[in-house]
Amino acid sequence: MKILLLVNNVFYEKKGSLFTFRAIGDFGTQLINLGNEVEMLQTKLKKDEEFHDFDLNNSKIKTTALNRYKSKIFTYLLVYLVGFWKVYKSDFVYIYYPTNYHFFAFFSLLLGKKYGLNVRGQQGVDSKLSKFLYKYAEVVFTVSPNFTELVNSCGGNGITQRPGISFNYTDIVEVRKLKKKSIYNILYLGRLDVEKGLIELLDAVELVKKKQVYNFKLTVVGDGYNEDYIKCYSNKLNLGDTIYFYGPETDLSNIKDLYMESDLFILPTHHEGFPRTLYEAMIFGVPIITTFVGGIPSRMIDNYNCLRIMPFSVDSIVEKLEYAFNNYINLNPLIKNAQFTIREILDPKKLSHAEELNRVIYL
């Protein structure tokens, strides 16, 4: 089976090779190991960064990487022209969604090719266009059960995929016994973008710090489009002795250590599909404070396996941080329940995303 993968992240040219996200590369490799031919199509960008760490040139995945031009219209036209031919030559088209290249689904319908969608993000998930594409897709994989319910309500074939994360069932640690601490270490791991709620988090940290009641540190791991702005904002609030900007990290051993050395994990994001970091925090037994946006409320339950904060709300973050500091021992049930949640999600008896897609294709 010739499978065309249209991923929603650009390829990065660096170190004389071409790179994509590890999870995407592993997914394509698994499809190949299951007996398929796999080609990925996207544009490429020259940038030396950390998060794209799967070397496509040293894999069995065929890659069509198109140049990005100053004219977005010209770039889109080029992708669509090349893509139309690639769809014609393929047996199955799998599209990471939402994307600027959703017309590939219409190309598939026009050419009588079967296509599938991988719904990853919250934006536009319930639009009329999305519902149309769900209905005519062979299969729609989603990162969250509530997204799957939406797909099925439109007449589509929705399946909640097993998470494509770098850690698995065997990495789940024994539930840690939380104890009162002299200093609490808070972890944020993700993109350094304003839409992740980091400005509200910094404002909340400043307010809690000013009260001079709690002793805590915040470690911010990652990089992103708004990195310089966020760091400048932190300096403006004089948070240099409270916040440590760690930078990006892709080494799995180091990532595990970051979780294991943390007392709280916080995610004040404005919108999401379902972030891998919540899975990771549950795996390593770190109490979670998070917003309930996108697919998050389908897995997370307030006061059961996490503490809920409101998006865009500084006061909500302050309230839950102070609650956690004052009642830290009482958070033990949260991590115990979170591990019940993650064990069910990562059940090794369940098919992987690639295995499930391969099963559907060959039905």
**What residue ranges define each of the domains in the chain, with the CATH number in brackets?**
2-162+349-361 (3.40.50.2000), 169-345 (3.40.50.2000)
| Out of 3-12, 47-56, 184-193, 309-318, least confident range | 47-56
pLDDT, average across residues 202-209 = 97
Considering Cα of 45, then 49, then 53, then 55, what sign does the dihedral take?
positive
pLDDT, average across residues 132-158 = 95
333: its two tokens:
């049930």
pLDDT of residue 245: 97
pLDDT at residue 236 greater than cutoff 80: yes
For residue range 302-361, what is the model confidence (pLDDT) as tens digits? 999 999 999 999 999 999 999 999 999 999 999 999 999 999 999 999 999 999 999 999
Considering only CA atoms, which of 142, 42, 167 is closest in space to residue 357?
A: 142
pLDDT of residue 164: 84
Rounded Cα distance between 286 and 232, Å, is 29
- Residue 115: which pLDDT band, with cuts at 50, 70 and 90? very high
| Three-state secondary structure call for residue 215 | coil
For tokens 């950390």, the residue is 50
pLDDT at residue 104 greater than cutoff 90: yes
The mean pLDDT value of the chain amounts to: 94
pTM for the whole structure: 0.89
pLDDT of residue 102: 87
pLDDT of residue 84: 95
pLDDT, average across residues 288-305 = 96
Rounded Cα distance between 266 and 289, Å, is 5
DSSP state, 140? Answer: E
Residue 280: partners with Cβ closer than 8 Å, 6 or more residues away: 165, 167, 189, 255, 259
- Residue 268: which pLDDT band, with cuts at 50, 70 and 90? very high
| Three-state secondary structure call for residue 254 | helix
pLDDT, average across residues 48-65 = 90
pLDDT, average across residues 172-199 = 94
pLDDT at residue 123 greater than cutoff 90: no
Under a CB-based contact definition with an 8 Å cutoff, are residues 65 and 42 in contact?
yes
- Residue 135: which pLDDT band, with cuts at 50, 70 and 90? very high
